[in-house]
Structure 1
């Protein structure tokens, strides 16, 4: 295959990871295109993205198919959970088309890996159950369908727990419960992800019609409860190919946006438990592409408890370090069949402050590496004041709502 592979990034949200990864992919020789919302996305202001296509909520599978037909990519990289689900659905439709759908079937299998694992990676409960079978350390976890279910389980456990809703991200569908009992208000807040009011709010403020589509289609969002582990959050971002981990970056979270929100400052670490968990899961599911694993490093013991997986881009996937921790180089080498590139460590510091979460210097530790895209000033400005945060309607809602719908 050519050393200049064609990459298609897919994102229904307005996250920055796709744009940040696109820069690295372009620098290593890839031709990058994207299918994303047609307004306010960081990919639209990144000069390295050669072609963009609208990701329409009215028919997302057709939007994906049209972008694939136009680009004929060597690999598709999903940047968000919904684009992962859409690729799985498109794969099923392509299978039904027989010979006519084989090109898309082969592309998605090459991009995501063995299709037998597609269902597992989109279910928190099934993924964690598989991890337990593989000998990975996981907090006690159960499915719950009501507040009464949760109270009954907690009564038997007598421990604090974490509630998580499938199909949510960035801490939006996560609640930590330390006190006994569960009020109807808390359960209502947890389950609001499927409400019409939230879908309308996302549509009007964030210009995100995908929530409305989920409501119209009566998409069910399973809920799990996990025993709460006292400790420090950590995560690893991984690139795998045909079930083998090619590169992995593990970090310990030093600062984050709230107790369940995204990290803002992290420290690079080496952790054998985290690496072994990634290897076992990737091998068991025959995974290809990017994914992330979230852990808690237990206080006192340092044991790494796996709490969830994201089968998409996760930070800091775009930062390049030595071989084995260079995900950009790992993707390029795997797709092209070329040797892994030489070491291109972006910084000697082990502490990374993410842009734009730490745009104020006082939010960054001394001697850290600040991940601002200095070679893309327009992108840096976009990330500091992203859509829809800069709109008048968003600012108006902020005056009355302590928890406005944010895009990160």
Structure 2
């Protein structure tokens, strides 16, 4: 419905809302219909308008520049929208949205969020590297197409493309003319192609969200990369498709609408708050779960930095505020530099090794941020200490004690656990008949072939160091509780529980290993235990609590993982329905027997692609054989 058509601007009301306004600017032709899919997929509460410049203003003068279009649209929007509004622009419309935001800033007004949907500006203003990549890709694509043509037609097309290439080279050189190499099919399209070469975006002192297509064949370059460095804060979300299908495909358009809604309304999951906005994730392993969490937090509006070894899956996550290499030979220095550079509110550990490193760094250089991030960490260093403190907090936990002699054990079965182990390693459920053998395996450093395998394949050097130095682990004996395994995934801040999800383990990745398939449950006992544990240890960030639910329904706390766990990303979405089964991507079990419930990160296609690559690697026959060999060599331990 047209609500305004004057002053050289047309504004259509395309969706009624209950709070706020979102203004979308269509592409070259200024046709609001091309954004119908985006609008249909939008889930926010804002009233949505489509605004586009007309060909002439009220005085009959042609509207030929982006600056003039933005100027007239601000005047028109002031007539229609009562208060401030958010801005979004697709393709050429992104330039207009950008300029509107700049002019609002210059006049002392504060624009809302700015969204660029596959927005692109003239290639003369791209950096040299990006332009050369685009030229090469375009050339290869054109040659591949020309090869399929009949000879005479191919020669004609080759000549035409050669002429266009020469024009591009001339325009790129200094003093190149501000004209486009393309032409539009309508008057509005022609006008847009004339205006684009004359507009060079300037730095915008505010936050901008770029929604970019994964397929860059249309321009030969990543449209998100064009805008890098042009805004104070820039968030990037990838949408499967190309420049045209990102708004014409119903599924892709729905993802665009959903992405805008998430940034505007923040959604029902965990969201940033003062003192809980800037995070640094530290990882010594190349676990996919850290990348999944970083993506979820970035999408939720957190400012996320990472300190990780090279080759980590997090490298494909868009929108990171900082990415710092964790050097194997000097990890403490790497972490300290990452903290200094990122100025986080919280530092979060991805694995046990990074937790040890942070504790060591804090012991050497006491730091307020690390103190807050680690909580009362001295109580968390020992499995026995955790169990004792849990009981002191009123939480049901099995009796646990440090042992140096297996002869003191009289009740079986019993669970032997080593301090500092994770992922099912260093854990053995022992019967009396197998006690001697299990004790020999669990109380010694990793076997040489296991340590070498972890160093070469998993790239874990600490196991090799323990083997070489003959560093024996501390062994704890925990009373065995029969029942169903369950986990509580928790978000917390300064000892206060912010959000949690309770999950029953349906299938583990391997015996006593990480969960592969889980079911959402509602368990008041687990929730209350989580609150007490978080308060007692003064935890901040994200953590996981392992439980066993016995036949009477009592939840026994068997483990506190004061670090990021593979299910933490679930806390950033709407609460999952009770009973929903989730196969954690990219575990192999979830990709086969539970293929209909795999929680693939569909809103992060590059991350999903990396997960599939990891899964393919996991299935490699040689690696399968190596894993089987190491398990058989030490059957008591995972």
TM range (shorter): 0.7 to 0.9
Q: How many residues align?
A: 362
- Aligned 8 A contact 2:585 2:591 in 1: no
| CA–CA separation in structure 2 for the residues paired with 1:365 and 1:348 | 19
Q: Deviations over 1:129-170 (max 9, x none)?
A: 11112221112222222xxx22431x2x2x211111111111
| CA–CA separation in structure 2 for the residues paired with 1:225 and 1:126 | 12
C-alpha deviation, 1:74, in angstroms? 2.4
1:13 aligns with 2:242: no
- Aligned 8 A contact 1:57 1:213 in 2: no
Task: Indicate the SS of the match to 1:43.
Answer: helix
1:307 aligns with 2:558: yes
Q: Would the alpha carbon gap of residues 351 and 15 (structure 1) be closer, same or farther in structure 2, given more than 3 Å must change?
A: same
Task: Indicate the SS of the match to 2:423.
Answer: coil
Aligned counterparts, 1:336-355, within 5 A: 344-345=574-575, 350-355=580-585
* Candidates 258, 267, 286, aligned match of 2:519: 267
C-alpha deviation, 1:212, in angstroms? 3.5
Query: Structure 2, unaligned stretches of length 5 or more?
Result: 1-272
1:231 aligns with 2:483: yes
C-alpha deviation, 1:350, in angstroms? 2.4
Q: Deviations over 1:86-142 (max 9, x none)?
A: 1111112223xxxxxxxxx121123233xxx21221211100011112221112222
User: Which residue does 2:347 correspond to in 1?
Assistant: 76
| CA–CA separation in structure 2 for the residues paired with 1:47 and 1:2 | 23
- Aligned 8 A contact 1:122 1:311 in 2: no
| CA–CA separation in structure 2 for the residues paired with 1:384 and 1:392 | 16
- Aligned 8 A contact 1:192 1:198 in 2: no
* Candidates 357, 360, 383, aligned match of 1:89: 360
| CA–CA separation in structure 1 for the residues paired with 2:601 and 2:632 | 28
C-alpha deviation, 1:62, in angstroms? 0.6
Q: Would the alpha carbon gap of residues 35 and 391 (structure 1) be closer, same or farther in structure 2, given more than 3 Å must change?
A: farther
User: Which residue does 1:108 correspond to in 2?
Assistant: 370
- Aligned 8 A contact 1:250 1:270 in 2: yes
User: Which residue does 1:170 correspond to in 2?
Assistant: 423
1:132 aligns with 2:388: no
| CA–CA separation in structure 2 for the residues paired with 1:261 and 1:396 | 18
1:183 aligns with 2:455: no
Aligned counterparts, 1:142-291, within 5 A: 142-145=401-404, 149-153=405-409, 155=410, 157=411, 159-184=412-437, 186-194=438-446, 197-214=449-466, 220-291=472-543
1:57 aligns with 2:328: yes
Q: Would the alpha carbon gap of residues 6 and 282 (structure 1) be closer, same or farther in structure 2, given more than 3 Å must change?
A: closer
* Candidates 339, 346, 363, aligned match of 2:593: 363
C-alpha deviation, 1:250, in angstroms? 0.9
- Aligned 8 A contact 2:303 2:321 in 1: yes
| CA–CA separation in structure 1 for the residues paired with 2:369 and 2:543 | 18
- Aligned 8 A contact 1:173 1:193 in 2: no
C-alpha deviation, 1:270, in angstroms? 1.9
C-alpha deviation, 1:64, in angstroms? 0.2
User: Which residue does 1:334 correspond to in 2?
Assistant: none
Q: Which has the higher relative contact order, 1 or 2, with Cα contacts under 8 A spaced 6 or more apart? A: 1
| CA–CA separation in structure 2 for the residues paired with 1:260 and 1:132 | 24
C-alpha deviation, 1:352, in angstroms? 1.6
Superposition CA RMSD, Å: 3.0
Q: Would the alpha carbon gap of residues 201 and 315 (structure 1) be closer, same or farther in structure 2, given more than 3 Å must change?
A: closer
Task: Indicate the SS of the match to 2:463.
Answer: helix
Structure 1-normalised TM-score? 0.79
* Range with bigger deviation, 348-357 or 275-284: 348-357
- Aligned 8 A contact 1:164 1:175 in 2: yes
Q: Deviations over 1:165-188 (max 9, x none)?
A: 11111111111113435233x223
C-alpha deviation, 1:189, in angstroms? 2.3
Q: Would the alpha carbon gap of residues 131 and 93 (structure 1) be closer, same or farther in structure 2, given more than 3 Å must change?
A: same
Runs of 4+ residues deviating >6 angstroms: 1-4, 346-349, 390-393
| CA–CA separation in structure 1 for the residues paired with 2:578 and 2:528 | 25
Aligned counterparts, 1:363-402, within 5 A: 363-364=593-594, 369-386=597-614, 389=618, 394=623, 397-398=626-627, 400-402=629-631
- Aligned 8 A contact 2:506 2:519 in 1: yes
| CA–CA separation in structure 2 for the residues paired with 1:134 and 1:346 | 29
C-alpha deviation, 1:7, in angstroms? 2.0
